[in-house]
């Protein structure tokens, strides 16, 4: 297995008495496209920004490309592309001038790529930034993060303001990056359908903890909804192993379970003296069930 | 050619594996047919190319597809190692389960369902 | 009615500092009222009311303008039902509340030194109105500060002249509240009809139009791009905008100084001595806004400056010192003006004044440097310095006062630098974000 691009070990961040991040440990490997999912206020932005060294964790450490995130060398910082949630564009400049400033910091700025994307995404470059719509500003901000072909791309809600066409175009660009197996993308988004298309791994952040991290496929295969139909009335406090949520209604029960093993199906059906149907859940349903 | 639903509870790679397997078994994908490249398929459906690669790799390991150097994947000429019956039955299980659920909801009995199955088999022979 | 009360309450509780003061004021007043009841009435409650006024009501007058703007600016709020009407009722209620202690004292017969004259209420209304209007206008566009400084000077000059004082005393008492009411009527009329209210601007906004037009010829150097990021101003390679800007400021200064020394009677020109409070105050204000903006924009440097936070801190300090340097250059020009035959000031005075103003600039620069984020520190430090300048440096100041203020400013600057070096090691950019420099809907 390749060396991880980014490693977080036991990262804890407190704001006064509030625990924003609670002992978060995770790795980002080259070739990963990781989707970060979480409720508003769960700590996604805090996590992403702390991983990049914008904030000093109270405990734990973060390593990026082998260096401490709080003291990265110029070469390391040049390999990172970051898109913050709140845009930090220059209101009084136009897009062309803004990109000129951003590109001045990178020796490997890919002008051809940016020119192509500007045309494809219809990003207006000649109007003042504060006269652009929110979506146009976001597209410009994305371009600013991509232009130097970073090996690690960290995006905080990159498509929140984009229309479906723009989102598709953005995803296509993400896939182009993913084709290069040395690069990784870490992005947070509320738009679950985008995550299902793009991400191969998922981090679910809940109350500052990394509630779940791993392959998206494994997550979908692991969290399922069981429909139990028994011959006689089921007890109210039915004990389904690994159940997250259970609802009993007479002869039937619906239980959402994690860590599901298909081999358990027969045994369970026998135990409850009935039939068992396994319903697989989409990511949005999984997310909802995990938050009940 | 394929219908991929990213929002489904079934991982995308598995959807693709199942569909290709069924098409091969049903004869719609004859031996030697070239499948779309990973990039083409990924672009068409806007899904992560890694998912497509994973599906293709799985099918290759099962002997259903074979790799050609520099060209896209191809349906294997001959199934070198046919999967055991239990495994093939397992592949049918999802579809059967859907049918059983539907039958239950329509309050069709098991006997009638089996009869329908037999009739459908006869009608779709060949 | 609920909405109006909510608006009214916001004027007293918007800033965290206000909430603290509210707690203290309420406690103070409550204690004294209790004392009054216990000790059988010695007028203690009056002290309580005075305390409440000083701690809660008077600061709220300063904050109210900013709060009013902040509430009125967002587009979304324009859709709230009867929004503007409710805001106006709210501010009226607020003003009534501010005057209430005085009305209370007026109605009370037991003040001992006679009933409170009604005129006082009128004066308080006039002063509060003036403060509100002044701050409201100032927060709308940073450049009004210059007019305010000019007006302040005119007022000070006027008040130090006996003739003017006589004139002012002759104005009937009702004219002051009358003028205040007129001001409110104008304000109400404007507020109801205006299309858009600009948001509060805490940092100077780079002016739009001709000054902001820049030609980026060829590729930018990393150095220039870094400067653009940190100052928030477009990189000016040809320097035309910079020249225009400097010329504007310098021109104003020249006009002010020449006007004072050519047209004012001799005793009053003392006010414009190089060692009066005008110059350190002006230098502090000139540099403060930019310095604050630079510190808040430091976040943009993190991923572009190698190494740990020390790297960013050094870049920020360089930028702050460049900012200071341009301020000092301006001061040198002013000093030269003072040495010229027009003003013909004593060279020692010019030197002392230059040191004074330079240290003031240094102070405000390093105060901004240490406030990461530290809003409370910022406001308190700034406020204290301004207060001491006003107190110790008048038109008739002694070398001792000048010396004291200079030393305090220098010491303060050094102290803040030391504080800054410690704080920057753990700067949290999750909380220190670039200040908004423009209304997103401007131009739309």
Q: Which residues lie below 8 Å from residue C188, measured CB to CB, with a gap of 6+? A: C88
Average pLDDT score over residue span C59-84: 84
A124, A130, A133, A134: CA torsion to nearest 10 = 110
Task: Identify the burial level of C188 via C-beta atoms within 10 angstroms of its C-beta, where 0-12 means exposed, 13-18 middle and 19 or more buried.
Answer: middle
Among the ranges A28-37, C159-168, C371-380, which has the highest mean pLDDT value? A28-37
Provide the shortest C-alpha distance from residue A49 to chain C (in Å). 7
Q: Out of C216, C302, C444, name the one closest to residue A131 (CB).
A: C444
Same-domain status, B114 and B62: no
Mutate to test the interface with A, among C303, C431, C434 (most CBs of A within 10 A): C303
A77-81, C214-218, C227-231, C355-359: the lowest-pLDDT one: C214-218
d(CA B36, CA B20) in angstroms, rounded, equals 12
Residues C194-227: pLDDT tens digits?
Answer: 888 887 776 555 555 444 455 565 567 888 888 8
Q: What is the DSSP letter of A186?
A: E
Domain extent for B109: 85-123
Residues B70-126: pLDDT tens digits?
Answer: 888 888 876 555 666 777 788 788 888 888 888 888 889 999 999 999 999 888 765
Picking from C366, C328, C349, C347, the residue whose alpha carbon sits closest to that of residue C402 is C349
pLDDT of residue C316: 94
Q: Where are the domains of chain C?
A: 3-140+171-193, 146-170, 210-438
The three-class DSSP label of residue C176 is helix
Question: Do residues B52 and B72 lie in contact, with contact meaning Cβ atoms separated by under 8 Å?
Answer: no
The three-class DSSP label of residue A95 is helix
Picking from C46, C201, C199, C218, the residue whose alpha carbon sits closest to that of residue C115 is C46
Q: Which tokens belong to C243?
A: 């020249």
> Does residue C261 register a pLDDT over 80?
no
pLDDT of residue A2: 79
Number of folded domains that form chain B: 2
Of A196 and C172, which is predicted with more confidence?
Answer: A196
pLDDT tier at C172, thresholds 50, 70, 90: confident
CB contact under 8 A, C220 and A55: no
pLDDT tier at C41, thresholds 50, 70, 90: low
With respect to residue B41, please indicate whether it lies within any of the assigned structural domains: yes
Same-domain status, B60 and B19: yes
How far, CA to CA in Å, does A52 sit from each of A55, A67, A108, C394, C409?
8, 11, 21, 51, 38
pLDDT of residue C378: 80
Same-domain status, B71 and B93: no
The three-class DSSP label of residue C359 is helix
pLDDT tier at C249, thresholds 50, 70, 90: confident
Same-domain status, B112 and B67: no
Q: Would you tell me which residues 73-132 of chain A have a C-beta closer than 8 angstroms to some C-beta of chain C?
A: 73-77, 80, 82, 86, 88, 90-93, 96-97, 100-105, 128, 130-131
With respect to residue B7, please indicate whether it lies within any of the assigned structural domains: no
- Our answer on whether B and C touch (3+ beta-carbon pairs < 8 Å) is no
DSSP letters for C364-407: HHHHHHH-SS-HHHHHHHHHHHHHHHHHH--SS--HHHHHHHHH
d(CA C205, CA C297) in angstroms, rounded, equals 13
What percent of chain A lies above the pLDDT cut of 70? 99
With respect to residue B99, please indicate whether it lies within any of the assigned structural domains: yes
ipTM score? 0.82
pLDDT tier at A247, thresholds 50, 70, 90: confident
Same-domain status, B90 and B71: no
Average pLDDT score over residue span C354-383: 86
pLDDT of residue C94: 95
| CA of residue C105 relative to chain centroid, distance | 31
Phi, psi of A113 (to 5 degrees): -60, -50
C308: closest chain A residue by CA: A71
pLDDT tier at A108, thresholds 50, 70, 90: confident
With respect to residue B23, please indicate whether it lies within any of the assigned structural domains: yes
What percent of chain C lies above the pLDDT cut of 70? 85
Provide the shortest C-alpha distance from residue B103 to chain A (in Å). 14
Same-domain status, B42 and B69: yes
Beta strands in A121-241 (DSSP E): 152-156, 184-188, 201-206, 209-215, 224-230
**With an 8 Å Cβ cutoff, is A50 touching chain C?**
yes
Average pLDDT score over residue span A32-58: 91
CB contact under 8 A, A284 and B50: no
Picking from A112, A38, A18, A9, the residue whose alpha carbon sits closest to that of residue A283 is A38
**With an 8 Å Cβ cutoff, is A228 touching chain B?**
no
- The total number of residues shown for chain B amounts to 126
Same-domain status, B25 and B56: yes
Prior bond to B59 cis, omega within 30? no
CB contact under 8 A, A45 and C430: yes
What percent of chain B lies above the pLDDT cut of 70? 93
Same-domain status, B24 and B61: yes
With respect to residue B80, please indicate whether it lies within any of the assigned structural domains: no
pLDDT tier at C314, thresholds 50, 70, 90: very high
CB atoms within 10 A of CB A93: 23
> Does residue C342 register a pLDDT over 80?
no
Q: What is the CATH number of the domain that holds B34?
A: 1.10.10.10
A52: closest chain C residue by CA: C303
Picking from C197, C178, C209, C82, the residue whose alpha carbon sits closest to that of residue C136 is C197
Same-domain status, B71 and B89: no
pLDDT of residue C252: 77
Question: Do residues A145 and A103 lie in contact, with contact meaning Cβ atoms separated by under 8 Å?
Answer: no
Q: Which residues lie below 8 Å from residue B99, measured CB to CB, with a gap of 6+? A: B113
Question: Do residues C299 and C434 lie in contact, with contact meaning Cβ atoms separated by under 8 Å?
Answer: yes
d(CA C280, CA C362) in angstroms, rounded, equals 10
User: What average pLDDT does the structure give for chain A?
Assistant: 89
Question: E strand or H helix at C49, and its extent?
Answer: helix C44-52
With respect to residue B5, please indicate whether it lies within any of the assigned structural domains: no
d(CA A45, CA A43) in angstroms, rounded, equals 6
d(CA C203, CA A210) in angstroms, rounded, equals 39
Q: Which residues lie below 8 Å from residue B87, measured CB to CB, with a gap of 6+? A: none
pLDDT tier at C443, thresholds 50, 70, 90: very low
pLDDT tier at A170, thresholds 50, 70, 90: very high
Residue C354: half-sphere exposure toward Cβ, Cα within 13 Å: 19
d(CA A76, CA A243) in angstroms, rounded, equals 44
> Does residue C42 register a pLDDT over 80?
no
C192 Rama sector, left if φ>0, alpha if ψ -120 to 50, beta otherwise? alpha
d(CA C107, CA A120) in angstroms, rounded, equals 74
- The total number of residues shown for chain C amounts to 444
Question: E strand or H helix at C106, and its extent?
Answer: helix C83-107
| CA of residue A191 relative to chain centroid, distance | 10
Same-domain status, B26 and B65: yes
**With an 8 Å Cβ cutoff, is B10 touching chain A?**
yes
| CA of residue A11 relative to chain centroid, distance | 18
Of C330 and A9, which is predicted with more confidence?
Answer: A9
């Amino acid at each position: 297995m390749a060396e991880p691009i980014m490693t977080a070990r036991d990262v804890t961040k407190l704001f006064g008495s509030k625990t924003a991040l609670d002992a978060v440990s995770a790795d980002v490997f080259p070739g990963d496209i990781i989707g970060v999912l979480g409720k508003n206020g769960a700590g996604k932005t805090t996590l992403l920004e702390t991983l990049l060294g914008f904030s000093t964790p109270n405990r734990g450490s973060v390593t990026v490309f082998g260096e401490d995130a709080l003291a990265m060398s110029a070469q390391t910082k040049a390999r990172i592309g970051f898109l913050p949630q709140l845009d930090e564009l220059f209101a009084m400049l136009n897009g062309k001038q803004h990109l000129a400033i951003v590109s001045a910091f990178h020796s490997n700025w890919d002008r051809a790529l940016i020119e192509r994307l500007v045309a494809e995404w219809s990003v207006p470059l000649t109007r003042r930034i504060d006269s652009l719509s929110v979506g146009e500003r976001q597209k410009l901000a994305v371009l600013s993060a991509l232009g130097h072909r970073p090996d690690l791309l960290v995006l905080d809600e990159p498509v929140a303001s984009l229309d479906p066409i723009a989102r598709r175009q953005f995803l296509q660009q993400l896939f182009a990056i993913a084709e290069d197996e040395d690069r990784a993308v870490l992005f947070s988004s509320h738009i679950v359908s985008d995550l299902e298309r793009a991400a191969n791994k998922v981090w679910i952040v809940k109350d500052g903890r990394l509630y779940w991290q791993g392959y998206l496929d494994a997550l979908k295969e692991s969290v399922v909804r069981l429909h139990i139909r028994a011959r006689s009335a089921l007890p109210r406090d039915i004990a389904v192993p690994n159940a997250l949520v259970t609802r009993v209604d007479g002869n039937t029960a619906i239980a959402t379970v994690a860590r599901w093993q298909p081999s358990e199906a027969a045994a369970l059906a026998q135990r409850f003296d009935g039939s068992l149907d396994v319903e697989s859940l989409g990511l949005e349903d999984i997310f909802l069930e995990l938050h009940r | 050619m394929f219908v991929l639903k990213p929002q489904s509870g079934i991982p995308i790679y598995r959807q693709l594996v199942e569909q290709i397997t069924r098409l091969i078994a049903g004869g719609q994908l004859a031996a030697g047919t070239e499948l779309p490249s990973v990039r083409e398929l990924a672009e068409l459906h806007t899904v992560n190319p890694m998912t497509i690669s994973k599906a293709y790799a799985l099918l290759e390991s099962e002997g259903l597809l074979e790799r050609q150097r520099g060209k896209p994947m191809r349906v294997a000429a001959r199934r070198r190692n046919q999967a055991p019956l239990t495994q093939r039955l397992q592949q049918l299980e999802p579809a059967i389960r859907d049918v059983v659920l539907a039958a239950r909801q329509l309050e069709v009995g098991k006997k009638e369902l089996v009869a329908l199955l037999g009739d459908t088999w006869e009608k779709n022979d060949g | 009615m609920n909405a109006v009360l909510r608006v009214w309450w916001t004027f007293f509780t918007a800033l965290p500092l206000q909430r603290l003061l509210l707690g203290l004021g309420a406690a103070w007043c409550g204690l004294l009222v209790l004392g009054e009841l216990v000790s059988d009435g010695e007028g203690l409650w009056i002290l309580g009311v005075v305390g409440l006024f000083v701690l809660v009501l008077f600061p709220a007058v300063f904050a109210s303008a900013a709060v009013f703007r902040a509430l009125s600016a967002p587009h979304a709020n324009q859709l709230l039902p009867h929004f503007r009407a409710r805001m106006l009722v709210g501010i009226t209620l607020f003003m009534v509340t501010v005057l209430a202690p005085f009305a209370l004292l007026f109605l009370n017969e037991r003040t001992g030194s006679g009933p409170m004259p009604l005129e006082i209420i009128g004066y308080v209304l006039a002063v509060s109105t003036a403060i509100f209007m002044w701050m409201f206008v100032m927060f709308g566009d940073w450049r009004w500060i210059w007019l305010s400084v000019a007006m302040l000077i005119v007022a000070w000059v006027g008040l130090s002249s006996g003739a003017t004082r006589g004139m002012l005393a002759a104005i009937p008492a009702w004219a002051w509240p009358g003028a205040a009411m007129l001001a409110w009527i104008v304000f109400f009329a404007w507020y109801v009809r205006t299309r858009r209210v600009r948001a509060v601007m805490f940092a100077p906004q780079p002016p739009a139009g001709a000054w902001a037009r820049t030609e980026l010829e060829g590729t930018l150097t990393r150095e220039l791009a870094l400067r653009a990021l940190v100052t928030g101003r477009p990189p000016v390679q040809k320097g035309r905008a910079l020249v225009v800007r400097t010329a504007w400021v310098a021109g104003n200064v020249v006009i002010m100084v020449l006007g004072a020394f050519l047209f004012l009677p001799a005793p009053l020109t003392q006010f414009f001595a190089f060692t009066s409070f005008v110059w350190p105050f002006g230098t502090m204000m000139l540099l403060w806004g930019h310095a604050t903006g630079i510190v808040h924009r430091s976040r943009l440097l993190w991923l572009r400056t190698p190494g740990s936070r020390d790297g960013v801190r050094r870049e920020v300090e360089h930028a702050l010192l460049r900012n200071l340097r341009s301020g000092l250059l301006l001061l040198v020009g002013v000093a030269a003006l003072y040495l010229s035959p027009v003003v013909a000031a004593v060279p020692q005075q010019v030197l002392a004044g230059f040191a004074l103003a330079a240290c003031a600039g240094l102070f405000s620069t390093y105060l901004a440097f240490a406030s990461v984020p530290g809003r409370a520190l910022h406001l308190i430090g700034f406020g204290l310095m301004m207060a001491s300048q006003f107190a110790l440096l008048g038109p008739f100041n002694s070398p001792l006062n000048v010396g004291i203020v200079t030393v305090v400013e220098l010491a303060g600057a050094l102290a803040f630098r030391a504080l800054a070096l410690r704080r920057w090691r753990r700067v949290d950019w999750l909380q220190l974000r670039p200040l908004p420099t423009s209304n997103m809907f401007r131009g739309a």
